[in-house]
Structure 1
Amino acid sequence: MGWRRSAVAALAAHVALPAAAQDLRLPVLVPLTGFVALEGTSQRNGALLAASQLKDVTLKPDVLDTQATPEAAVTAWERVMGGAPSPAVVGPILGTQMLALLPLAQDRGVPLLTISGTARLGELGNPWFFRFFPSDATVKVAHARYVVETLSAKRPAVIYQSTAYGQSGREQLAKTLIELKAPPVLEESIAPTVNDLSPALLRAKNANADVIVLHLHAASTVLAVRQARQLLPDVPIVAGSAMHQPATAALLEPAELKGVCAETAASPISATSGPMRAFLDAYRAAYKSEPDAFAAAQFDAVGMLGQIIAELRKAGQPVTPKAVRDRLASDIYHGVVTTYRSDGKGNMAHEAEIVCFGGTDRIPKPAARYSIPPRS
């Protein structure tokens, strides 16, 4: 495939630029500092890589750090909205920040492309919301099904983050585990600032848990796995998507990863061929690091945006945020992770994967894939 570097520009929010104009501004609002910095950095890198590869449209990414609070996200939004208009905005992975930005996007009339998994985002009826990572209503169903159907667990202990992300995942996990007749024997909420998870793990041990189910951000995931391997060495762990990240796995020894699995949309580092392998090679060349599913999903989101803009121009139609929104809501896009189409609520991805580590290296292997079609 041919790749091309992006150049500078602007697009009027509701007034189309001439068809000959090629340069468009793309605000990228992501957390680059704080407890989700690993995830936000992946999100940024995926967006920038996609922008650099577009053939028929040049996008000028404008990256701002949303840190880790809703207030910082709003400040970043106000800064980018004061500049040249844009056809869409990349929104942060952190659910609380997206909750703060969605009303602003609706007021402004600009599509927000995100990979935030918080299930509630898709239930707000905001027509400017588009999620390219499977929501908790998809990945947590896969998470729970793998625990019960594949591991045959009957007594799961759920340890989840106290953030909106964690609460959303916990709700979906509990609902599905109960439906599968394996209700949690323990549900433990952990703040991102907690640096000792041994009390929660000991409670899981005392509850005779037969699997540890984690739904935590990256830093807490590392701590939970490390301490679980000391306190509960023979109990399997099925973690959230943070665990599949190469940057997370790099903080643990391969032996500590034995018996650890994770839910995710995909595992680019495990790819050996096809479009995902091409993405993996391009990412490594650009960033000298390993990509994760967050980077790949955001790569696909910007790729779909580029395709929509190119098709609008080819058809001689005005490129406006509304025109982009309408196409995001109706088009089908074949990305490197999956095939994307909206379920009418802005949820674009409807598959989830379970990957597992073997204990000899830090590269997980696909263990199961689940397709959960959107309701019609």
Structure 2
Amino acid sequence: MHKKILIAALILGMVLTACGPAVQEQTTQEIPTEQPTQLAATESTQATTEPTQAATVPDTIKIGFVAPLTTANALMGWSMQQGAQLAAQEINDAGGINGVPLELIIEDNSNTADVAVNAINRVLSENPVALILGSTSAQTLAMEPIILENTLPTIIMGSSPSLTDQGNPWVFATRADDGFAATAAVKFAVEDLGAKKVGIFHAAEEFGTSVAPIIISALAEYGLEPAAVVSAPSTDKDYSAQLLELQAADVDVILVWVLPAPGILLARQMKQLGMDTPVVANPVFGLSQVLVLMTPEELAGIYSMTDCVPSQSTDEKILAFVQAYKDRTGTTPDLFGALSYDSVKLFADVITQVGTDLAAIQAGLFAVTGWPGVCHNYSFDAKGRGGYDISTVDISTGTLKVVGTVSK
């Protein structure tokens, strides 16, 4: 209970200010190994690359971890950090990677490309063998040239289609891309909710602007054009002008693509304006930390697209993860906690098989087929995209109720 209160207090302060810190930045951090868990071990990869023998055994195997731990994206970053640290703790409790402890090098990329570049450079100074990015699409794009230059195997949690269209063979994405998610959102809005006059509200940043044309194209497949398209920077606090424009267009469903803190404010301001229009959104409303900050009235009529809902699984391994995450944080894991957990475990599994040579790790990831994670069964295609499922969840009761799943 104390954990939940502290987490809610931290996040509430961030939502009210739209820029306050949610967690403290952490740098080079070795994960403690005092608390063993009963989580089932992940299965080995399908990688066929022969292990690379290092000349000397390192004191630790370092994996960089860059995520938004402050500003408006901290709701996602907190979940990512918890999932990654839980995975690292379990790996070390089980003896490390081939007997060598795993060390996460954690950096905050805040909410700008410049900070993200500085963060990845600090991580690189520690000589990691792999990197995990929980950054937004714009920040990830800013870091991709550095990843390519340093030939560093990198798993990203960004979902913009552009992230794996850069021709960078060192980047691997664990999420279904926004193009697929947006198309699934349109399908649900039209076929399940009966939408005829669709409004679009998207973030003014890259991850939002890249999705709007995809939504418009998907609507065209049903012979529809958007009744209104509005956007706003994620730093804004007042969305009344955009909402009034949507209201004036008499939309019957609003497709929303925003970040967590703006999403909460948007839902709150809709109710203040007396709007009860159904909302179909990106995963923003599927975050456990978002749900606890919203009232039942604000939650009514909202659906969210998400990669996974671990708490609704019947798989014993996944349910063990859910319980371990709850024990650690006092909260139910969302997709970002699950994705970061999978990313650490997947890297550890590949490194166990092939060693710490960077090219061998890259080849090992490309060789992965049907790797059973918490969020997806991963198989990476030629572009490095590895997640292929999207679920639609109804959050009106304050929990995530899956009402449909689409596989690519």
TM-score, normalising length: structure 2 = 0.82
2:113 maps to 1:70: yes
Per-residue deviation, 1:203: 1.0
Identity %: 27
Deviates more, 1:99-108 or 1:18-27: 18-27
Q: Residue 265 and residue 223 in structure 1: after superposition, are their counterparts in 2 closer, same or farther (change >3 A)?
A: same
Partners of 1:274 and 1:181 in 2: how far apart?
44
Stretches of structure 1 that go unaligned for 5 or more consecutive residues are 5-14, 313-317
- Specify which of 100, 109, 117 is matched with residue 151 of structure 2: 109
**Structural mapping, 1:73-88, within 5 Å:** 73-83=116-126, 85-88=127-130
Per-residue deviation, 1:17: 2.6
- Specify which of 334, 339, 345 is matched with residue 372 of structure 2: 334
Q: Residue 193 and residue 20 in structure 1: after superposition, are their counterparts in 2 closer, same or farther (change >3 A)?
A: closer
Partners of 1:59 and 1:250 in 2: how far apart?
33
Per-residue deviation, 1:19: 8.4
3-state SS of paired residue (2:168): coil
2:323 maps to 1:287: no
Q: Residue 93 and residue 181 in structure 1: after superposition, are their counterparts in 2 closer, same or farther (change >3 A)?
A: farther
Partners of 1:116 and 1:371 in 2: how far apart?
18
1:114/1:298 contact within 8 Å kept? no
Amino acid corresponding to residue 338 of structure 1 in structure 2? H
- Specify which of 349, 355, 360 is matched with residue 387 of structure 2: 349
Q: Residue 3 and residue 280 in structure 1: after superposition, are their counterparts in 2 closer, same or farther (change >3 A)?
A: closer
3-state SS of paired residue (1:224): helix
2:200/2:212 contact within 8 Å kept? yes
1:247-300, Cα deviation, whole Å (9 max, x unpaired)? 111121023212111001012344465333222111111122332101101111
2:245 maps to 1:207: no
Q: Residue 303 and residue 86 in structure 1: after superposition, are their counterparts in 2 closer, same or farther (change >3 A)?
A: same
Partners of 2:341 and 2:54 in 1: how far apart?
25
Per-residue deviation, 1:348: 0.8
Q: Residue 269 and residue 253 in structure 1: after superposition, are their counterparts in 2 closer, same or farther (change >3 A)?
A: farther
1:132/1:298 contact within 8 Å kept? no
Amino acid corresponding to residue 27 of structure 1 in structure 2? G
- Specify which of 228, 248, 265 is matched with residue 223 of structure 1: 265
1:354/1:369 contact within 8 Å kept? yes
Per-residue deviation, 1:172: 2.2
Partners of 1:148 and 1:290 in 2: how far apart?
31
Partners of 1:276 and 1:258 in 2: how far apart?
29
2:406 maps to 1:370: yes
Q: Residue 2 and residue 284 in structure 1: after superposition, are their counterparts in 2 closer, same or farther (change >3 A)?
A: closer
Task: Output the aligned Cα RMSD.
Answer: 2.0
Deviates more, 1:41-50 or 1:271-280: 271-280
Partners of 1:89 and 1:299 in 2: how far apart?
13
3-state SS of paired residue (2:71): coil
Partners of 1:75 and 1:51 in 2: how far apart?
24
3-state SS of paired residue (1:36): helix
Partners of 1:140 and 1:272 in 2: how far apart?
27
Deviates more, 1:335-344 or 1:283-292: 283-292
**Structural mapping, 1:6-155, within 5 Å:** 17=54, 23-54=60-91, 55=94, 57=97, 58-83=101-126, 85-155=127-197
1:84-129, Cα deviation, whole Å (9 max, x unpaired)? x222111232111111111111110101111011111111110001
1:39/1:93 contact within 8 Å kept? no
1:133/1:294 contact within 8 Å kept? no
1:261/1:357 contact within 8 Å kept? yes
Q: Residue 270 and residue 199 in structure 1: after superposition, are their counterparts in 2 closer, same or farther (change >3 A)?
A: farther
Stretches of structure 2 that go unaligned for 5 or more consecutive residues are 1-36, 41-51
Amino acid corresponding to residue 26 of structure 1 in structure 2? I
Per-residue deviation, 1:22: 7.4
Partners of 2:310 and 2:172 in 1: how far apart?
22
Amino acid corresponding to residue 396 of structure 2 in structure 1? G
Per-residue deviation, 1:23: 2.9
3-state SS of paired residue (2:325): helix
Per-residue deviation, 1:231: 2.9
Partner residue of 2:292?
250
Partner residue of 2:14?
none
Q: Residue 42 and residue 171 in structure 1: after superposition, are their counterparts in 2 closer, same or farther (change >3 A)?
A: farther
2:39/2:324 contact within 8 Å kept? no
Amino acid corresponding to residue 302 of structure 2 in structure 1? V
Per-residue deviation, 1:240: 1.3
Higher relative contact order (CA 8 A, sep 6+): 2
Per-residue deviation, 1:16: 5.3
Per-residue deviation, 1:146: 0.8
Partners of 1:27 and 1:243 in 2: how far apart?
28
Partners of 1:268 and 1:199 in 2: how far apart?
37
2:229 maps to 1:166: no
